[in-house]
Amino acid sequence: MQGSFCDNIVRSSTKDAMPDSLGNYLIPTSYSRIVARELGLQERELPRLLEGTGLPPHVLLAGDESRISGQQQLQVMTNARRISNDPAFGLRLGSQLTPRSHGPIGYLALSSPDLLTALKSLRDFLPIRIPFAQVDLHEQGQSMACDLTILLPAPTTQLRMLVECFALVIQSLVESFLGRELREASIHFEYDRPAYGDRYEKYIHSELHFAQPASRVVLPAHLLTEANPEGDANSYAAARDMCAALLEQVPVTALSMTDRVKRFLLAQPAGSVNEENVARSLYISRRTLARRLQAEGSSYRRIREDMMAEMAAVQLRQGQLSVESIAVLLGYHDSANFRRAFRRWYGCSPQSFRDGVKPE
């Protein structure tokens, strides 16, 4: 392995978090893809979302690793609000921003041993993905305040949308740990209650306060020691290192459809998506995806099988996890199914492979 997951984050953070020469912050296009999905856009409709940005439609395709400026991201959100004809689109978008939508930061947070560590992970590594926002944590007696600051100059409407999104990002992270809706927090917004204020209660589950000195989420202190419900910390650490190393192997430029599918699969928990999910992320039908992959001499099944086989081999060679743990890591609910798949890939059992026994 080429260093730990966190090492990879630290190495990339200086370049990725820096504003461009015009003072705009550079942001992954993955967030604009979430916008497009929430709008239900088809491939031919993508240019509407990018009007006024100067960006080509391919930046909205899964696997694209481009970064866009803060101003371009604001324009995308402005276009989305117009296309949706919904003043509460910021709330709709925020509800889609689960921890896993933030790529490596989300996995880092979800692998944390407790909620406080997860919030600190979000605070410390947010510049890697969303450099125009800042989260600060402040203890306040029997509570902790998560202050939200938007560093990017933005008109009132867009600023409100961004703050709505970030309040829901915090809520989603906390709810991932609790395994239930967050009801005991207090959510503060520094702007006045908007005309669509009654819509907030559909998306935000805690007490709401408008026209406050700062935008923040206030959490009871007892929640901060909430343990990670995902369990096996070693498996999650191994998954993070594995994904960080494998992502480096996929070309960043001139992506083929095969490369795009690989990048999408590598950015998800193993075994958590299917061919339909991949097609939807590319704004095409499953049939179109199959046709384009076939033109490249590939297929979804072949890509998935090759990646799973490589991941399994990496973990077995490292020797840190049991065969059963590797099966779970790769999304197999039955280790017997994993063993059968492994024999198909390598002609031997996982344990024989680990022991260096030649294929039968």
Fold for domain 5-225?
Answer: H-NOX domain (3.90.1520)
The residue extents of the domains of the chain are 5-225, 249-355
pLDDT band, residue 23 (cuts 50/70/90)? very low
What pLDDT was estimated at residue 151?
85
Residues 6+ apart with CB under 8 A from 137: 119, 120, 123, 144, 145, 146, 147
- The Cβ of residue 101 has, within 10 Å, a number of other Cβ atoms equal to 17
Q: Nearest 5 degrees, angle CA 209-CA 214-CA 70?
A: 115
What pLDDT was estimated at residue 249?
54
Which residues, in sequence order, are bridge partners of residue 140? 143
Q: Is 218 helix (H, G, I), strand (E, B) or coil?
A: strand
Residues 6+ apart with CB under 8 A from 88: 196, 199
27-64 pLDDT per residue, tens: 889 899 999 999 999 999 999 999 999 999 999 988 77
Of 11, 229, 223, 210, the closest CA to residue 99 belongs to 229
Which numeric CATH code is attached to 249-355?
Answer: 1.10.10.60
Average pLDDT estimate for 14-31: 57
Is the model's pTM score more than 0.85?
Answer: no
What pLDDT was estimated at residue 184?
96
Of 1, 122, 16, the closest CA to residue 67 belongs to 16
156-178 vs 115-125: helix crossing angle, rounded to 10 = 150
Phi, psi of 251 (to 5 degrees): -60, 145
Q: Is 62 helix (H, G, I), strand (E, B) or coil?
A: coil
What pLDDT was estimated at residue 227?
78
Buried b (16+ CB within 10 A) or exposed e, 36-69: bebbebeeeebeebbeebebebebbbbbbbbbbb
